Chains A and B, each alone.
Chain A
Amino acid sequence: MAQLSNLQQQRLMVEQLRREASLKRLPVSEVVEEIKQFILQHEPEDYLLIGFSSQKNNPFRERASCDIL
């Protein structure tokens, strides 16, 4: 990237700040509530969290060994 003059650098920074200032923000209470809802909705599919009803369903269960008779 070519060296920018001081003025150009300041301009870019101000443009960036203006963009950020115009973002619509939500209060923490609201966003956390939504995160909580997402979690509750997806918990049933979260096997690391709820585990497996039977270890047979765990693709990484200990492998049974077979003996050749």
Chain B
Amino acid sequence: MDSAFPYSLFPSFYDPGPPDRNPLDLGGWGKYEHVQPFSVEAGEQQEAELKWSALKSLTQESWEPLEPVAVPLLPAKTVCKFRPVSLEELTYTGRIMTAGERDEMTMGALNFTEQGKARQTAISVNHLRTFTERVKQRECPLSSGSKRARLLNLLLRESVFDIPPNLLAENIHEEMKIQRNKLLFDHSATGGALVYCPFSKGVHFEEGCLIYPGSESMNSLNFRKIKLGLDDDKMPKLSMKFKPVKFKLNGRIHQIDYSTVEEEAYVGVRSDYHCGVWKLSQEVNPSALQVVQMANMATCINVSPHVPGELVIASECGAAYLWILDKGLQKIRKETDNLYFNAQLPWRWCDFTAHPRVYMYADRTGLDLTDVRAGETCNQTLFKIGAAADCQRGERVILPKHLRDVNPYHYLITTQNSAYIVDERFPTVPVLKWVHMMESPPMFAQVACGTVRNRTNKIVLGSQRAQEVLLLQYSGGMQLPCQSFGPPQKLSSIYDMMQHLPVRLPHQHEVVAERLHSAGAGLATLYHCRGKKTLSVFQLSAVGDLFYQMLVRKNSSANGQSVSGASRARVGSNHEPNNSILSKEVQSINHSTEPRLEGAEDLAQGEGERLEVNSSLSGVDEQRVQSFIKQSTNKPSTPSCAALAMCRRWINSFLKKQKKFQSGSDMLHKHSVFSTKRLFSCKRFKKGKESNDAYKEVWDKMKAVMEKKEVLCHSTFPILDSVSVPDLVDPSMWRDELSERLTAAWEGKWSEWWAEKLGVNRDKKIQALRAKRRREKLARAGQRSGLSGSFTSSVSNLSDFSDFSGWSRSSVVDSEHGDYLSGTESNVLSNKSTEVKQSIGTVTEESRQEREVQSNVSVVEQSRTPMPEPILSQEIRLVGIPKERKRILQNYLAALEDHPPQPSEGDDGISWSLPLASSTQMSFAEPSQMASTCEMSWLSSSQSQLGPSQPKKKRARMGF
């Protein structure tokens, strides 16, 4: 019967009080702890019946992983947008030196050899004055990296800071400490955000729903059907073929809990300030039912296993509520202080108990049972940190869990050191205790129970930071007292995958390692106890990766660990099968292995690897190695091909995502500069001098030239033979494809050439053209009046060709447009030119106020010929240019005016526009071939588009 209480419990001392001094931390190895006899009723005689059984029994179900590592369940979906700060970085202990403390600074005054430094450390009073004037304005007057800022900082010290540096430093220290503690332990993830909800179980298959958060900020809730079946080799296999149902929430999901009541699963989801409920069943897709918002940070959500649609939630202020769907919240309890001693910790937890109206309320100091029927006073201690539970000092409750399906009277409680099973019928004294020996406290736990009586229940504990997974087994709690089975077993952690991966580039390796090291966020188990027994463990990491590992029950050696009474008898039978496999595999080792075929194959591989590992260790006794190999292969140590493929797939997907993201962020830092300062150092030449006289000569000459501050060329440095510059190659001479490609490559347009050639960018080009046209059309209306402005900007805006072309194109568009209105282009265009003139007039009117340009403007106004008008507009534009440069520009433009190009009316405006374009682009260098070709090509392309109307258009421009 389910409700039976063990008739005889294991003996133990009871000592209520604070915990003792911490004993030596030895872990829970090699201890029976307590023992009691059980008389087995079958036998006649007393002696045969009596069997002693220990609290920590040695017998155990032996579970072996199918793969030596946890395998990714899904390809990576997210990428971290920034590099997470590591624990080591936050725990720097070296002395942080401020500039003032630096030794060189104090020495500086006496060290005359470093007088040059004075220049570096001095700052002009003018700067100081402007700075102090500007410092009243809120924005920072200096860029932080500048030398001047550093110097000012040294000089002014604390006087200019809003927050005194000492205080600021203290606060930063504090913040770092908080961040570090958060990295070590973040209580918001307690309970875990991953659950597996089984729907139907058959002998060889099982179907259920995996509920997990996804996306970068872990705010999308995924419901995904998964199926456990057998593959062709009769090995259990998970299939994830179904599409997930997704819900987008507006907060990071911290905890997911579910309960199946009356064949409908209720799923509670907790984020920082919201809790929500979903309902699903095998047939019906999940649907959101209700959401509540909390004023304080929510710390817990649990779904009732008794009554459908009931949940409990707790928040940091210490309040716990019963949440009945459609009825709202009902306060169960509120405690402002901690339960058993003043630990001043805000974390609270609550859960259901065996009685639907009694609730468990917990904080870091212990657990309490609250009976809401009898009002708030009816509380009973269930567990408290203290000597009764044999706690250590500093131990705190990390995760309490009601073991609903396993035994409704039982609770699993984890602390930093131990895991306890507590029976609510016998409060305060744990019925079972393990020292779990995990590095970081177990924050996630799942307990799976078999269906048969006298089953062993499996506890899987998962920790947050180190992502360890531990398997514990126990039984009892009904007729028989609780007994643990076998020592704890560690399952492989996510990071173990690393050693089986192919070698990658160091930075990729680093990124992958960092990713695999990210904290845990949840743990789920799928225990299939019919047919071939399997235990699948799913792990969720804080960045949203899902991993799983599958364990299978090894049947032959269930009794393997009990020491039989007969002396000299080999204990345990699991060695024999091993040996037979070993002998078998010696033959099979040479065969090309198709892993997953048989356990033996995997074993063979493992053997090989081990051998390699050991032979690589120098100085290891050969015999020892042999014996070691012979004995120590219990497990396959290399993952199967399928598993490796999954791993590789995951890594590739992750690296692809990472790269994509990085290429985006690298755009910002593209212009890296290489220092060539030390490329030809003096030392090298000196070295050369020693070896060869010729070098010395060169060196001396060079030195001489340099002393004279002359340019090192043939005339000043005659030692070198003059090398004639090869003739310029005219690429237009070479018309074959290869040459064209080489030309393109020379100009850095190799990929574009190929794109052009293959027609890859056709669509893109067409689209770009269309978009451009559309844009221009849109811009037309507004630009019409300010056309001259657009033109001038195209000239002064030094390299901006597109605007220029845009202008000309827009005029074309306009002309097309004009077709509709009047029909004759020339007419329209001439109209247009007058319009432009007028607009320029207005601009000049406006700019007359500008004193600097005024004279020029008047000049322009006097000579109002069509020709110099562009210059006028140029001058208007000069307003924004620094004085010195303005002068140069003006000179240049004046020169242009003196020798205007002689365009023939019939010839086009190209030659006219050329100097303008080249002057702007090539910064007053003589118009080079290159620029002109560019110009040419642009013009030719525009020509092709202009078609027959082109000459007229040019004339229009001449009209200026």
Q: Do A and B make up one complex?
A: no
Residues of B with Cβ closer than 8 Å to A? none
Residues of A with Cβ closer than 8 Å to B? none
